Amino acid sequence: MPAERFVAALNDQIGHEFAASQQYVAAAVYYDAQTLPRLASFFYEQAKEERVHAMMMVRYLIDVGVPPTVPGVDAPQTTFGGFIEPIELALQQERDVGEQISELVGIARKEKDYLSEQFVQWFLKEQIEEVALMSSVLDVAKRVGDQPLLLEDFLARETLRPEGTDPTAPEAAGE
């Protein structure tokens, strides 16, 4: 049985992951409305990924016999001051999630809940990749200045995500 403190923190993290998913949907909708389909697609995909992360956490709790909590989330930011702002917000969001995941590791370790610590290790690796990805997109966005179509071209040309699924990823509920 996982430590109670870890379970409470993981349930909170489920909410953070769903909130991140909603924020990515809001960014995708913004880009869709601006007729920037590559950016929209990129952020719709990010939204799916965050939802899957939440569902991985749900599956873990179910598998260890603890009822998960699926909290509601606050409304995401839906208006932006330009095409770079959602990317900046996304990078900050990924950095925040990285800190939250690190906190989960710390809680599990302090509580000597080694099974839970092992479970969240995959998310640490994932956050390194997510921060690097969003940093790269932001770097290119800043270089293109006020020409978002150049960022669209970049996203069309480059493969920023590895192909296929990660065989080391935890199973997600509902998958």
What CATH number should be reported for the domain holding residue 147? Answer: 1.20.1260.10
Per-residue pLDDT reduced to its tens digit, 139-175? 999 999 999 999 999 999 987 766 667 777 888 887 7
Residue count of the chain, please give it: 175
Indicate the residue type of 116: S
What is the number of H-type helices and E-type strands within the chain?
A: 5, 0
When the pLDDT of each residue in the chain is averaged and rounded to a whole number, the result is 94
CA distance 50 to 56: 10
Global confidence as pTM: 0.92
Residue 81 in domain: yes
Number of domains in the chain: 1
Is 114:128 a contact under the CB 8 Å cutoff?
no
Q: Which class for 100: exposed (0-12), middle (13-18), buried (19 or more C-beta within 10 A)?
A: middle
Residue 10 in domain: yes
Residue 28 in domain: yes
Residue 35 in domain: yes
CA distance 150 to 54: 33
| pLDDT value, residue 158 | 85
- Report the first-to-last Cα separation within the chain, whole angstroms: 24
Residue 164 in domain: no
CA distance 99 to 161: 22
18 to 38, 52, 56, 157: CA distances (angstroms): 23, 9, 12, 30
Residue 29 in domain: yes
Residue 72 in domain: yes
| pLDDT value, residue 162 | 62
Residue 109 in domain: yes
Q: Which domain holds residue 9?
A: 4-157
Per-residue pLDDT reduced to its tens digit, 40-61? 999 999 999 999 999 999 999 9
